[in-house]
Structure formats: structure tokens, C-alpha cells
Amino acid sequence: MISAWAVEAVALLDAEMERTPVTPLRRFPLPAGWEVRLWMKDESAQPTGSLKHRLARALFRQAIASGRIAEGSTVVEATGGAMAVAQAYFARLLGLPYIAVMPRRSSGEGVERLGGTCRYVDPPLAIYGEARELADRIGGHYLDHYVSAAAVDWHGGSLAEELFGQVGECPHWVVVGAGTGATSAAVGRRLRTHELPGRLAVVDPENSAYFPGWVSGAADYSTGMPSRIEGIGRPRMEPGFVPDLVDLVVPVPDAASVAAARRVRRDTGLTVGGATGANLWGALELVTRMRAQGIRGDVVTVIGDAGARHLRTCHDDGWAEGKGLDWRPHAARLERLLDHGESWTIP
């Protein structure tokens, strides 16, 4: 039986969803005369500043409705970055203690500001075991978002739910990145179940398992290598990523993602990270294809997050140099395309 606390907690989450405005769809400027339009759904407008807000809400709702999180449960997760911030926000909304186990080098500032606690662990891959053990030890609940995202029930709160109504005609391509894979799966399911004509492309950074796994059809593909692009790319195919729903995976060089993140900042004023850069780069490849094939229509991609912290990564020359990312040739390529209308040749 569901407790009175759980009923109230679910109602709080649903009310938060109701009062959160639909995130804006921004037009990304392409050269005059092009018959393809490019749109970016701006998830940086979410209350916690990223598209993880939706997934965190849905995962809390599901864990509460199924009794895995009860009144007073300490919620534990293995993650730094945007997901930890979004979860800390919902834990605070529900009056639950929250602990994020994160790699030593990450910043827990956003989590602590929302009343959550951070535990720093080394090496980075030890966060998962540590979070599970900690939850066991204290009788808390380990949310385990990479696994639980596979069975997520969005209750109407997914990005796909909002997106298609905003564009008018169904876009020719929707372009997203994959971390847990949940966003791409939600978009893909929406396209299939509503028999929409649009297609789904996933952009994938270097070192990630999604591109080689999707191409080879090996569901257990693993690179064992961390992604340099925050938010997207995984060392293994995560269970939330559904390859059959994806029409195309576009590998994007990390240096191109950095160059494109800078371009998004220049053209929209939003300080986006590499994941949004990868989205723009992949979307522009598809715009180029459509133009080459004489297809008109819309391409939609996502601004996954934005914030001053990205000034210390993608937008910082020293950071890029330290990572060995030479973004300049890619920036020049973007200029040729966007400022001079010279189409890219597709490899």
C-alpha cells in the first residue's frame, strides 16, 4: 500500500512539473536563403539548468511510487555534475537527505548549495561501488540512474512530449546526445509510437561505446574509456540506450564539439558545454546532407545545459590545450559554413 507521505510526495513532484514552464525553442541562425531551419530546445531554462531535471524528477517519482524511497530515506547517487544538482533539488523539495558520491576532481558546489552532501572518491570509477555500499550501510536508496533510466516512466515530462508540439511540422531530424540514453529513447519512442516521419540521430564523442556499439550491433560493446565531453559518451552501452530506436549515430570529434560550443555561445549568448557543441556539429552535418539532397524542413537539437562553469572548460584555451583539443580548424570550418555559406563536403 502506498503511504500518505508517498501520495503527497508524488503530488509535489507533479505540481513542480506543472509549474515548470515549457523550455523555449530557439532558432539557430543559418545563412540567408537556406531552406533548412535549425532549432535548439533550450534545456538550460530548466529550474536546475539542464535536461537532467526531467530525468531526476521521473526517477524520484518512480522510486517513491514503488516504495523504494520512503519518508526520511537518504537518497544516494554516484554522479557529479548536472544530474547530482537536479537530484539534490528534488531531494530538498521532498525533504529527503541526499548524498552524491563523485570523483575527487568534481565540484560539489551546486549540490551543497541545495542542501545535499558530497563524498569524493578516487579513482573515478569507484563511485558506483562506493555509492551502493554507502546506501546499504545507512539503509538509504541508491538511485543508480544509468540503470534505472532504462525503465523510466516519464509521466508526460520527457523532452519528446514538449518538442514535437513546438516545431509545427515534424522535424526531418532530431539530434540529441546520449549519456544515460534516456533522452534519445524518449524521442525515438515518440517518433515510432506516433508514426511520425522524423528521424532520430545521436551524436557521440570520442572514446564512447555508443557509436561503435550501434554500428556493430554489439549490445555489450565497451571501450572502458571516459568521455572528455561532459554529459555525453559512455565507456559502455548503457541499458537506457535503445539502439533500435536510433536511425543514425554521428561520431563527433571532441575538438569539433569544443569549437561548436564556442559558436553556440557566440550566436546565442549561452555559455554551453561540449555536449551542446556536439549537438550543433551533428545537426549541421545533417543540415548539410539535407541541402545536398534538396530536402527542405527542420532540424531540431538541444541545448543540454549552460552555465558559467563551462568558462573553465570548453571556453578556456588553457583547458582545451591541456586536453590536447585543437578546436581552431573546426572553428574555421564552422565559419566557412555559417558565415560564408560554403557547404561542407560530407565524408
Ligand X SMILES: *Cc1c(COP(=O)(O)O)cnc(C)c1O
Q: What DSSP letter does each residue of 98-114 carry, written as one string?
A: EEEEEETTS--HHHHHT
Q: Which is nearer to ligand X, 243 or 304 (CB)?
A: 304
Quote the least distance from Cβ 70 to ligand X, whole Å: 26
Asked if residue 304 binds ligand X (CB under 6 A), the reply is yes
- Give the Cα separation of 287 and 298 in Å (integer): 9
Q: How far is CA 217 from the centre of its chain?
A: 23
Distance CA 311, CA 262 (A): 10
182 is a site residue for ligand X (CB under 6 A): yes
**What is the full DSSP assignment across 211-250?**
HHHHHHT-TT-B-----SSTTS--SB--TT--GGG-SEEE
Site for ligand X in 115-154 (CB under 6 A): none
> For residue 246, how far is the Cα from the chain centroid?
16
**Which is nearer to ligand X, 76 or 232 (by Cβ)?**
232
Residue 233, interface with ligand X (CB under 6 A)? Answer: no
CB of 177 vs ligand X, minimal distance in Å: 4
Residue 269 grid cell: 549568448
Among positions 47-86, residues that touch ligand X (CB under 6 A) are 50-52, 55, 82
The site that binds ligand X (CB under 6 A) totals a number of residues, namely: 19
Q: How far is the CB of 252 from ligand X (least distance, A)?
A: 12
- CB-nearer residue toward ligand X: 110 or 177: 177
Task: State how far the Cα of 154 lies from the Cα of 180, in Å rounded to an integer.
Answer: 14
Compute the distance between CA of residue 75 and CA of residue 87 in angstroms, rounded to an integer: 9
Whole-number Å distance between alpha carbons of 80 and 50 = 13
Of 69, 84, 85, 178, the one binding ligand X (CB under 6 A) is: 178
- Per-position x/- string for 187-226, each x denoting binding to ligand X as judged by CB under 6 A, each - no binding: ----------------------------------------
CB of 276 to ligand X, least distance (A): 6
Chain positions contacting ligand X, by CB under 6 A:
50-52, 55, 82, 177-184, 231-232, 273, 275, 304-305
